[in-house]
């Protein structure tokens, strides 16, 4: 660890921030970046240095992908041909007839190949037809003051636990209209499978119903189903619950992901994309949720109370396809997806885990290292993603600086605002969102969707990034050609990112979680 990093995470600093900012924490129930009261709530300055290992990994992905490889191979060839043509035609011998002949002979075939190279390489794109996010009924709304009052009246928490949750909520960035079941405040409440299933069914079925209506896809036409829920894993599985309710086809390829945290929504998209490649011309339904009822902790261990403060009800359903003809009706095209897993490091692996307290109550425990390992995971992921999304000019500037910079000078950090127009970061705590904004050099406009989602819906786990995209669409922020980057964290420790390109300008939705009377 460098001297600077050692200073940032010294015991003295940690102790001071515990006293002043213990409430700035993030729900870590599903593996998202979270604060422990023993951790200074500040991300490491991951853009102050560049790990070449991850830069090489990014370019490795670039070369390994056939379409990218041919693109970067043919562009220089096209430039060379144009230079050759220019050398043949000087002012003395130039004629329009010769120039037209060269265009037809050299340039047009290359342009034709560049336009159709995905089809020539038999590469199918993944299209996002539409998505939906569940809006719970109004009777589930709960304010921060009501949360504390119900927690106090339940008798499940001592004064220290109540005071801690009150401080955490006050500085969390969460508003007074988030949703959660009040049944968790019953005296001596213990999570049950029945209540967990009921909540999961309500939010998942609602989101799926909306996406089926908007896409006009029949349930029997869905060939692939991927469901993710971090804490609640039942038998039969949640994917079987959906198949039974919507009467999906008997030969459907269904998968149920558990224990993967907030980043599971992006992992599910990755799995669906691979399955679509294996079964071309198919529909894939991706469902992301978490159960507040089943993840609730009713004890007094301070390290296990943070999920209670941040975790809220929610679910998303995303309809994907790789039908080539669907390009003209789809909203987005999947451009890049990068997954980073730091589980080989013990500090990362142990940072967030499910355990029981001294009284046998189950809950999610957040270690003092969670924020540090989360920052390093984000650094690794963004460094890997850079070569895939940054303009060539930025990459040239980066490598020029890297090759000729002085030994003690900091490396040039690319401007990620040039890579995408919108960023959706898992809605955690206000402090985490602030630190990510500062470290990535993003403007307030880039963070608006994350902040608004945190305030309005809290942390809805793996579906959070979809509520943020819904916010962008409801406010007509997305235009044709815009690139949207979704970033999610997860226990393990994982950081995953996916980049979508808008194929058209989405119209203002008639049904959205941001439009209550919809």
Q: Which of 459, 471, 495, 496 is catalytic?
A: 459
Active site residue 309: no
pLDDT at 48 exceeding the cut of 90:
no
> What number of other Cβ atoms are within 10 A of residue 123's Cβ?
14
450 pLDDT higher than 70: yes
What's the pLDDT band for 368 if we cut at 50, 70, 90?
confident
The pTM (predicted TM-score) of the whole model is 0.80
pLDDT of residue 35: 39
Active-site pick, 326, 376, 422, 471: 422
Q: Residue 371: name the closest of 20, 1, 24 by CA.
A: 24
222-229 and 283-289 beta bridge pairing: parallel
pLDDT score at 376: 85
Percent of the chain residues past pLDDT 70, beyond the cut? 73
- Pairwise CA distance, residues 374 & 33, whole Å: 6
**According to the model, what pLDDT value does residue 311 have?**
94
Torsion of CA 455, 460, 465, 467, to 10 degrees: -60
Q: Which residues, other chains included, contact 485 with Cβ-Cβ below 8 Å and sequence gap of 6+? A: 385, 389, 419, 420, 422, 423, 424, 497, 498, 499
Q: Which of 341, 376, 381, 495 is catalytic?
A: 341
pLDDT in tens, 140-194: 999 999 999 999 999 999 999 999 999 999 999 999 999 999 999 999 888 889 9
Catalytic residue among 21, 156, 228, 262: 262
CB atoms within 10 A of CB 374: 33
Catalytic-residue membership of 471: no
16, 35, 39, 199, 442 from 11: Cα distances, Å: 9, 15, 9, 41, 30
DSSP 256: E
Most confidently modeled of 28-32, 82-86, 372-376, 471-475? 471-475
Q: Which two tokens stand for residue 37?
A: 């009261």
| Token pair recorded at residue 63 | 């070369």
Q: Is 101 a catalytic residue?
A: no
Q: What is the pLDDT of residue 407?
A: 59
- What does the pLDDT average to over 225-233? 94
Is-catalytic flag, 422?
A: yes
Q: Convert the pLDDT of each residue in 369-417 to its tens digit.
A: 888 888 888 888 888 888 888 888 877 776 676 666 665 556 556 788 8
pLDDT of residue 23: 42
């Amino acid at each position: 660890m460098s001297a600077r990093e050692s200073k940032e995470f010294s015991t003295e600093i940690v102790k001071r921030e515990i006293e002043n900012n213990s409430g700035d924490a993030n729900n870590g129930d599903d593996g998202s970046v979270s604060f422990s009261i023993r951790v200074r709530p500040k991300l490491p300055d991951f853009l102050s240095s560049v790990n070449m290992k991850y830069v090489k990994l990014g370019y490795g992905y670039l070369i390994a992908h056939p379409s990218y490889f041919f693109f970067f191979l043919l562009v220089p060839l096209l430039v060379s041909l144009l230079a050759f043509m220019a050398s043949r035609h000087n002012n003395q011998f130039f004629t329009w007839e010769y120039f037209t002949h060269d265009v037809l002979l050299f340039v047009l075939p290359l342009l034709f190949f560049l336009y159709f190279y995905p089809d020539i390489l038999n590469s199918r794109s993944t299209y996002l037809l539409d998505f939906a996010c569940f809006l719970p009924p109004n009777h589930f709304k709960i304010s921060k003051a009501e949360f504390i009052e119900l927690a106090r009246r339940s008798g499940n928490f001592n004064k220290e636990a109540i005071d801690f949750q009150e401080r955490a909520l006050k500085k969390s960035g969460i508003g007074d209209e988030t949703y959660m079941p009040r049944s968790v405040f019953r005296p001596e409440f213990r999570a049950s499978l029945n209540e967990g299933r009921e909540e999961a069914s309500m939010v998942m079925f609602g989101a799926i119903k909306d996406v089926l209506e908007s896409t006009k896809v029949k349930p029997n036409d869905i060939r692939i189903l991927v469901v993710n829920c971090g804490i609640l894993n039942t038998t039969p599985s949640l994917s079987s619950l959906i198949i039974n309710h919507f009467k999906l086809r008997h030969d459907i390829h269904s998968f149920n992901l558990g224990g993967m945290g907030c980043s599971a929504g992006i992992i599910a998209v990755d799995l669906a994309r691979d399955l679509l490649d294996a079964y071309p011309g198919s529909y894939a339904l991706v469902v992301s949720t978490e159960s507040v009822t089943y993840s609730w902790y009713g004890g007094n261990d301070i390290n296990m109370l943070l999920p209670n403060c941040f975790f809220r009800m929610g679910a998303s359903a995303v309809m994907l396809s790789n039908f080539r003809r669907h390009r003209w009706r789809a909203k987005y095209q999947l451009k890049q997806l990068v997954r980073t897993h730091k589980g080989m490091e013990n500090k990362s692996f142990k940072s967030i885990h499910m355990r029981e307290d001294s009284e046998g109550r189950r809950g999610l425990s957040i270690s003092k290292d969670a924020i540090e390992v989360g920052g390093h995971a984000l650094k690794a992921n963004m460094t890997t993603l850079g070569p895939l999304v940054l303009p060539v000019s930025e990459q040239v500037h980066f490598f020029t600086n890297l090759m000729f910079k002085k030994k003690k000078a900091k490396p040039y950090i690319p401007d990620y605002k040039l890579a995408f127009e919108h960023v959706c970061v898992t809605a955690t705590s206000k402090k985490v969102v602030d630190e990510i904004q500062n470290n990535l050099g993003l403007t307030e406009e880039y963070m608006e969707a994350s902040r608004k989602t945190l305030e309005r819906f809290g942390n809805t786990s793996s579906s959070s990034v979809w509520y943020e995209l819904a916010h962008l669409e409801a406010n007509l922020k997305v235009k044709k050609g815009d690139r949207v980057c979704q970033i999610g964290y997860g226990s393990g420790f994982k950081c995953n990112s996916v980049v979508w390109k808008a194929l058209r300008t989405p119209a203002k939705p008639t049904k959205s979680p941001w439009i209550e009377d919809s």
